[in-house]
Amino acid sequence: MHSSTSNSEFQRPIPSRPWNTLLLLTLALAVIGLVAWEIRARTWGYAPGLNDTSDLWADRREAVKPDSIVLLGDSRPLFDLDLNALEQGLGKRPVQLSLAGTCAYPILDELSRDESFRGTVILGLIPAIWFVPPAAPPYQNGVKALKRYQTRNLSQRAGHHLGMLLEEKLAFMKQEDLVLPELARKIPVPNRANSYLPPELPPYFQTIDRERRTRMADQCARPGPLQDRVKTGWIPLFTPPKFPDYTPKEVLEGIGKQVEARFGDTVAAVNRIRARGGRVVFVRFPVSGELRDLEEKLTPRAGPWTRLMKETGAPNIYYSDHPELIFDCPEWSHLSGPDSEEFTKRLVPHLKRALNAVPEPRG
């Protein structure tokens, strides 16, 4: 007896429909939807441009040579250092490895363990970000980028290069702003007792090319809604997070120990680079307005910055020590495109002096 499920003669009937017309209609609706979403994105101020993905960062990490000049840190060296001006001033085009919203210590540590690297690191440092514990998102951003660099496969590389072709043509392809999970995350939900939502990240306000040369968007560089939205987002983002009342004392003490360990770990990483003939220079970049006041209150210069400079013995440049390096940041935290070029030109002589004054490694 044949089972009805094994009857090879069975065929599902295909209903008679105008399939060609339905296909064309579906394609037309898809195109209309894409065009409408593109128009909407552009009315919000978005423009075609690359996303600063882990793949784009991995491309630049692969470009690092033994004697490269590497730019490292958070978003300030990403925005404020102009690759063209640095190349003209230092005689070599740097590799940009800074990442927005990121504690760059994991990247410095990885670079220090790369036995082939004996170049120069120009490291922008905001103490409030540099000393976050390993579980914090800024630390994990660096870990994520490194993991992509170390493990990506051929398929991921191909997808990345295809994606760049589309990103350079379409404004709505902004993975940090205009994808469904990010749009859903922006739905306002009030805080509840012992449940605090993280602060909202700033919106897209930059352009970036394949070398990760980054420029502030013109709409953000001048007064207006975008600048106001970015500016007002920094204060909650830089304010230390609240811990629920039930957080165990041991957890808080553990975080304190992790922060303390960062001093010694940073010294060790700097020394490993120096031991191979490399150089590391720390730079504190301009900051303005209420954000400057908050940073000076939470992490005054006499605190973590001074201690770290003393323990590493590294040459360093603090912007406020030099009147020519004091700039007004339009949205309090970063320089506009033209100002980044001018700031970099003025910074170059200080970098040259610092690079010629690197001391011996310290224990």
Residue 193 predicted with pLDDT over 80: no
Residue 338 predicted with pLDDT over 80: yes
User: pTM above 0.95?
Assistant: no
Residue 113 predicted with pLDDT over 80: yes
Phi, psi of 120 (to 5 degrees): -120, 135
Residue 246 predicted with pLDDT over 70: no
Residue 187 predicted with pLDDT over 80: no
What pLDDT score does 90 carry?
95
Find the domain containing 192 and state its range.
54-355
What pLDDT score does 51 carry?
86
Q: Are strands 95-96 and 69-72 parallel, antiparallel or unpaired?
A: parallel
Q: How far apart are CA 49 and CA 170, in angstroms?
A: 7
CB 110 within 8 A of CB 318: no
What pLDDT score does 205 carry?
84
Residue 217 lies in a domain: yes
Beta bridge partners of 72: 123
What pLDDT score does 255 carry?
74
What pLDDT score does 170 carry?
78
- Of the candidates 117, 17, 109, the one whose C-alpha atom is nearest the C-alpha of residue 66 is 117
Banded pLDDT at 363 (limits 50, 70, 90)? low
CB 235 within 8 A of CB 295: no
Residue 31 lies in a domain: no
What DSSP character marks residue 330? T
Q: Which residue has better confidence, 249 or 105?
A: 105
What pLDDT score does 123 carry?
98
Beta bridge partners of 316: 282
Instruction: Tell me the per-residue pLDDT of 248-295, one tens digit each, with 9 for 90 and over.
Output: 676 666 777 888 999 999 999 999 999 999 999 999 999 999 999 999
Domain count within the chain: 1
What pLDDT score does 15 carry?
79
CATH number at residue 112: 3.40.50
- Of the candidates 341, 272, 333, 301, the one whose C-alpha atom is nearest the C-alpha of residue 73 is 333
Residue 281 lies in a domain: yes
In this prediction, residues 230-251 reach a mean pLDDT of: 74
Banded pLDDT at 190 (limits 50, 70, 90)? low
Residue 225 predicted with pLDDT over 90: no
Residue 7 lies in a domain: no
Residue 44 lies in a domain: no
Instruction: Tell me the per-residue pLDDT of 48-100, one tens digit each, with 9 for 90 and over.
Output: 778 889 999 999 999 999 999 999 999 999 999 999 999 999 999 999 999 99
**Residues of the chain above pLDDT 70, percent:** 84
Lowest mean pLDDT among 60-69, 162-171, 184-193: 184-193
Residue 37 lies in a domain: no
Residue 349 lies in a domain: yes
Banded pLDDT at 349 (limits 50, 70, 90)? very high
